[in-house]
Amino acid sequence: MIRNTVERRIGALLKGTGQTLSAAESCTGGRISHLITTVSGSSAYYLGSVTSYAVKIKEKVLSVPSETISSNGVVSSEVACAMAEGVRALFGSTYSVATTGLAEGGDEHYPEGTVWIAVSGPLGTESTIYQSGKGVRKDNIRQFTCVALQFLEKYIQKSQSIDNQAK
């Protein structure tokens, strides 16, 4: 039996619609992109991702303004939203998802286990915060990825539902 994972459900929502997806990852480090591409046929809707681990890559490749980072901190709703909007514009996708957080080691603003997640698409850009609490690095990455994919799934469902009502 094939498990009905969130990445499969996202695939089922997008397949055959002509809608596309991209991702911008910081603390999840590529795991979102990895899970999406484990789904057979994902190349029909998945364009790709940028893992912007270094701050300068967020600015240079994803066009996150340096003032957005310096004013709000790199783990913030504002930076997550700018990353989602940046990768969506760069890749020209219908939807995008972005993460920025701390899988290990807290800072002065946020404790370890904090992630800001943003999703961008036809309904605009939305963000949410998730806190796993102190944990093992790999477990935090897994939890962050799962929560981000669930947030994306809900956004796509809402967007497609509004599209269908308009028809």
- Under the criterion CB under 8 A, does residue 42 sit at the interface with a copy of itself? yes
Residue identified by tokens 């009502």 is: 165
State whether residue 122 is helix, strand or coil.
coil
Q: Which stretch binds a copy of itself (CB under 8 A): 8-16, 49-57, 125-133, 147-155?
A: 49-57
Least distance between a copy of itself and beta carbon 164 (Å)? 26
- Under the criterion CB under 8 A, does residue 34 sit at the interface with a copy of itself? yes
Binders of a copy of itself among 145-164, rule CB under 8 A? none
- Under the criterion CB under 8 A, does residue 69 sit at the interface with a copy of itself? no
Q: How far apart are CA 122 and CA 158, in angstroms?
A: 10
- Under the criterion CB under 8 A, does residue 109 sit at the interface with a copy of itself? no
* Cβ-based burial of 92 (10 A; exposed 0-12, middle 13-18, buried ≥19): exposed
Type and span of the H or E element at 118: strand 114-121
Helices assigned H by DSSP within 61-166 = 66-72, 77-91, 137-166
Q: How far apart are CA 102 and CA 121, in angstroms?
A: 25
- Under the criterion CB under 8 A, does residue 32 sit at the interface with a copy of itself? yes
How many CA atoms does the CB half-sphere of 108 hold within 13 Å?
A: 2
- Under the criterion CB under 8 A, does residue 138 sit at the interface with a copy of itself? yes
Least distance between a copy of itself and beta carbon 51 (Å)? 4
Q: Which residue of 11, 19, 52, 152 would you call a contact of a copy of itself, by CB under 8 A? A: 52
Residues at the site binding a copy of itself, with contacts judged by CB under 8 A: 23, 25, 29-34, 36-38, 40, 42-43, 46-54, 56-57, 60-61, 90-91, 104, 137-138, 141
